[in-house]
């Protein structure tokens, strides 16, 4: 007996029950986000509140894309293309005719099709013209699942970024408290001591100034002891002298925390060029190219490059202090945009933003394949490709959230310009 695919022949209690569950889940999610926003507002965390609004806007965009797919599903499925175009740039090889005929009536295929609300009549429509549909109803359904998985992974990724990033910066709070509680008479000697430690570590010795040596040290530094107490205090003093000399009680650590929350608002969004990357990725995911595997290296390579650049900026700051000490007798870090690529500190954040989104999308793509097609799908490729992909995805997420982004929050303060945020002051800090 054929299964009916119309709501006209479904019991009303079934339809009502499904609608009730969907509406309930949606309302709980919406109320939860509103409650979180009120908590952030109540605690004066305006930057995080704006980041939450940005995240909600991105989720709304994903929902709108899903809505458009639903609205234009019938129209697009009626677009017919020649059969030879359907055989080009496939993510999987098509089965043989006999195998295809057997799989057409397999239980798994029938079970998948029962999840659809309506039968796919586009194939019959196009077959009369000797063509095939641009996208079938089942393929639209699979795209909906992809959008849902991308949204979930994006939210989880943003939460991990914020939690690990703030946890890392909180580890520097004792250094702030130590230098803030220094007595007036010993403050200069304390700062001088930390500057000299910085110079001894990064500037003294001609071999340290060689480009190959300094970049090698920078590459290794991002994994081990990326920020030391002397580096933190030296950069803190340089920032205050450059931008806040009138506020000797400036809370530099609080300023960094607020800057991280402000930058998180940017990271939580999805830019146009990232959507363009998604389109290019889906286009190049062709069978035999192993695009999914090779592109998984891109976030790791970019992350290592950005981390090495941030660590190298600290080394260059120390070397320039050493030069000024010899020529002018000055012993303080001098912030400048010239240490950053193209004199743009914000460009580093754009790289981090792209790295985190690409990594989140690739993880989402993996779980989408696992959910939709199973572990042994041809798109999933061999286990030898899957394990390195997952390992690199986890490494990039943790390394970027816990090391690179906090390091950026510190080093970006060494730019020429200063974006003020509401920061409390210490007592009785003296610089």
Q: Write out the DSSP string of 137-174.
A: HHHHHHHHHHHHHHHHHHHHHHHHHHHHHHHHHHTTHH
Alpha-carbon Rg for the chain, nearest whole angstrom, is 28
Measured CA distances, 181 to 186, 193, 226, 427 (Å): 10, 16, 25, 8
Percentage, residues of the chain above pLDDT 70: 85
Contacts of 273 (CB under 8 A, 6+ apart): 354
Q: Mean pLDDT lowest for which of 98-112, 115-129, 273-287?
A: 98-112
Q: Can you tell me the mean pLDDT for 222-246?
A: 85
Measured between alpha carbons, how far is 350 from 370 in angstroms, rounded to an integer?
Answer: 30
pLDDT at 44: 75
pLDDT at 404: 92
* Whole-structure pTM value: 0.79
Q: Can you tell me the mean pLDDT for 365-377?
A: 83
- What is the pLDDT of the chain when averaged over all its residues? 79
Contact between 256 and 262 (Cβ < 8 Å) = no
pLDDT at 307: 92
Element (H, E) at 132: strand 132-133
Residue bearing the bigger pLDDT, 130 or 382 = 130
Residue bearing the bigger pLDDT, 168 or 11 = 168
Measured between alpha carbons, how far is 43 from 39 in angstroms, rounded to an integer?
Answer: 6
Measured CA distances, 143 to 65, 71, 147, 190 (Å): 10, 14, 6, 60
pLDDT of 101 > 50? The answer is no
Contact between 333 and 321 (Cβ < 8 Å) = yes
Q: Can you tell me the mean pLDDT for 185-194?
A: 76
pLDDT of 78 > 50? The answer is yes
Q: Mean pLDDT lowest for which of 92-101, 130-139, 362-371?
A: 92-101
Residue bearing the bigger pLDDT, 1 or 311 = 311
pLDDT at 303: 93
pLDDT at 22: 84
Residue 246 pLDDT grade (very low, low, confident, very high; cuts 50, 70, 90): low
Q: Mean pLDDT lowest for which of 14-23, 144-153, 283-292?
A: 283-292
pLDDT at 121: 57
Task: Please name the residue that has the structure tokens 């990064």.
Answer: 202
């Amino acid at each position: 007996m054929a299964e009916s695919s119309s709501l006209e022949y479904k019991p009303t209690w079934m339809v009502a029950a499904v609608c009730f569950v969907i509406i309930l889940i949606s309302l709980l999610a919406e109320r939860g986000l509103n409650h979180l926003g009120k908590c952030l507002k109540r605690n004066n965390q305006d930057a995080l509140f704006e980041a939450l609004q940005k995240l909600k806007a991105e989720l709304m965009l994903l929902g709108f894309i899903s809505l458009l797919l639903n609205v234009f599903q019938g129209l697009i499925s009626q677009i017919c293309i020649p059969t030879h175009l359907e055989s080009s740039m496939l993510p999987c090889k098509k089965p043989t005719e006999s195998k295809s005929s057997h799989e057409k009536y397999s239980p798994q295929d029938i079970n998948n099709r029962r999840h659809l609300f309506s039968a796919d009549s586009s194939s019959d429509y196009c077959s009369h013209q000797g063509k095939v549909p641009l996208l079938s109803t089942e393929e639209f359904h699979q795209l909906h699942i992809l959008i849902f998985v991308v949204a979930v992974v994006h939210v989880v990724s943003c939460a991990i970024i914020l939690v690990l990033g703030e946890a890392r910066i909180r580890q520097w709070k004792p250094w702030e408290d130590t230098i803030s509680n220094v007595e007036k008479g010993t403050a200069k000697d304390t700062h001088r001591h930390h500057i000299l430690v910085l110079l001894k570590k990064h500037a003294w010795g001609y071999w340290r100034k060689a480009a190959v040596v300094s970049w090698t040290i920078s590459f290794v530094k991002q994994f081990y002891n990326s920020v030391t107490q002397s580096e933190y205090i030296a950069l803190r003093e340089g920032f205050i002298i450059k931008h806040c000399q009138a506020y000797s009680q400036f809370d530099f650590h609080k300023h960094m925390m607020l800057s991280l929350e402000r930058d998180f608002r940017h990271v939580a969004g999805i830019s146009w060029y990232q959507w363009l990357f998604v389109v290019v990725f889906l286009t190049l995911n062709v069978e035999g190219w192993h695009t999914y595997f090779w592109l998984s290296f891109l976030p790791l390579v970019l992350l290592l490059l950005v981390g090495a650049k941030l660590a190298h900026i600290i080394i260059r700051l120390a070397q320039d202090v050493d030069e000024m000490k010899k020529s002018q007798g000055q012993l303080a870090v001098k912030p400048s945009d010239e240490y950053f690529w193209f004199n743009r500190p914000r460009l580093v954040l754009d790289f981090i933003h792209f790295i985190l989104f690409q990594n989140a999308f690739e993880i989402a793509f993996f779980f989408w394949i696992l959910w939709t097609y199973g572990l042994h799908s041809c798109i999933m490729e061999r286990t030898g490709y899957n394990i390195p992909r997952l390992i690199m995805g986890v490494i990039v997420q943790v390394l970027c959230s816990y090391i690179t982004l906090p390091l950026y929050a510190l080093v970006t303060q060494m730019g020429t310009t200063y974006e003020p945020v509401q920061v409390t002051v210490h007592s009785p800090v003296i610089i």
